[in-house]
Amino acid sequence: MIITIGVLVGVSFTLSKIAAMAGVPPLLALFRQLLVAGLLLLVVGIATGRRLPLTRQHVFYYLGAGILGVSGPALIGYTVLSHVSTGFYSALVTLSPLFTFAITAAAERRMLPFHRLVGILVGLSGVSIATMKGFNFDSTATVWIILAVGGPLLLASGNVFRSRAYPPKGDPMMMATGALLSQLVLIWPVLALSSAAQPVSSIAFGPEAAILGVGLITAVTYVLTFEVQRRTDGIGFAQVGYFATLSGIAMGALVFGETIRPALLLSLAVIFLGLGISNGQIKSPGQLWFMLRSLATRWIAGIRA
C-alpha cells in the first residue's frame, strides 16, 4: 500500500504541473480536486452502507488531517509547480520522513528507536542516487524554493497528527471522506469571494482532465493513506515520500522527456533496504547479509537455469 500511494502521488505531481502551467488558479484547482475526490468517496460510502461520524473528535480529526495532509500541500504544489521542475519538487518530498521523525521525537519528548532513523537515512540515500544529477535554479526565485519546502513540512505534520489523533475504530474510507469534505466546506466560501472562481468552460480540456485525474488519485490515495495510518505510525507512513519521488522522476521522463538513468534501479533497491530496516524486518547486519546472499544465490541459479 505504501508503494501504491507513492506511485500515485508521483503521478499527481505531473498532473498538477500540467494544470499549474496552464494558469489554473491554485484555489480553483484545489476546489475541483476536492470536489471530485470527496463526492466520489461519499457516494461509495453511502452505497456500501457506511455513515460519516460527526462527533467532536471526528470533526477535529477531519479538519486537522484535511488542512495538513490535503489542502496545504496541494495549494503549495499548484502554486510552485509553475515555477520549479517536477523532479525538484518530487525530490523535496524525501524530506518528509526526516521531518516526520523530528516532529514525532519533539512531540513525544523522547528519542525514537535508532533503527527507524537508520532506515530513513538509508532510504534518503537511495533517493539521492536518483537525483544527484542536480537541478538548475538560475531562473528560479528563492521564494519559490522556500515555499516548496513547505510541502514536505506540512505532509510530515499531517503524518504525526493522523498518527496521534486517529479516532478509535475509525473506518479509513469515512475518515478520508470526512477530511476531504471538511476542506470543501472551508474552501467553498473563500473561492466564491475570490477572483479565482471561473466557469468550467473557461479551462481547456487538458488542464481540466489533469485536475479530474488528481481528484480521482486523491480519492484512492487517501483511503489507502488512512488504512496504512491505522496499521502503522507516522514515521512508517512517511516513507511514501521515497516512492513518490521515484514515481515523479519516471513520470517526468514520460511526459516531459527527461532521461531515466540506470541509477534509478539502484535507487529503488536501496529504498527497499531502508524500508526493511525502518520497519524492523532487517534487524542486524547478519540478517541483512543473509538476505543479500539468498537473493544473489537465487539470481545466479536463475541465470544458470
CA distances from 91 to 53, 130, 134, 160 (A): 37, 9, 10, 21
242: pLDDT strictly greater than 60: yes
| Concatenated DSSP letters of 38-83 | HHHHHHHHHHTT-----SHHHHHHHHHHHIIIIIHHHHHHHHHTTT
Residue 59 is predicted with a pLDDT of 94
Q: Which residues of 198-228 are buried (b: 16+ CB within 10 A; e: fewer)?
A: eeeeebeeebbebbebbbbbbbbbbbbbbbb
Phi-psi region of 143 (alpha: psi -120 to 50; beta: other; left: phi over 0): alpha
Q: What is the DSSP letter of 297?
A: H
User: Confidence band (pLDDT; 50, 70, 90) for 253?
Assistant: confident
Residue 18 has pLDDT above 60, yes or no: yes
Domain count for the chain: 1
Residue 121 CA to residue 118 CA, distance in Å, equals 5
Range of the domain at 51: 2-304
The confidence score (pLDDT) of residue 230 equals 72
Give the residue-averaged pLDDT of 184-202.
72
Per the CB < 8 A criterion, the answer to whether 30 and 73 are in contact is: no
pLDDT digits (tens, 9 = 90+) for 121-163: 777 777 667 655 555 555 667 788 788 888 888 988 988 898 8
Contact of 94 with 124, CB cutoff 8 Å: yes
Dihedral class, residue 175 (left if φ above 0, else alpha if ψ from -120 to 50, else beta):
alpha
pTM of the complete model beyond 0.85: no
241 pLDDT more than 60: yes
CA distance 156 to 165: 14
Are residues 248 and 87 in contact, defined by beta-carbon separation less than 8 angstroms? yes
Return the closest-CA partner of residue 98 out of 120, 73, 74, 122: 120
User: Backbone dihedral region of 257: left (phi > 0), alpha (psi from -120 to 50 degrees) or beta?
Assistant: left
Distance CA 295, CA 302 (A): 10
List b or e across 127-147, with b for residues whose CB sees 16 or more CB atoms inside 10 angstroms: bebbbeeeeeeeebeeebbee
In this model, does residue 67 exceed pLDDT 90?
Answer: yes
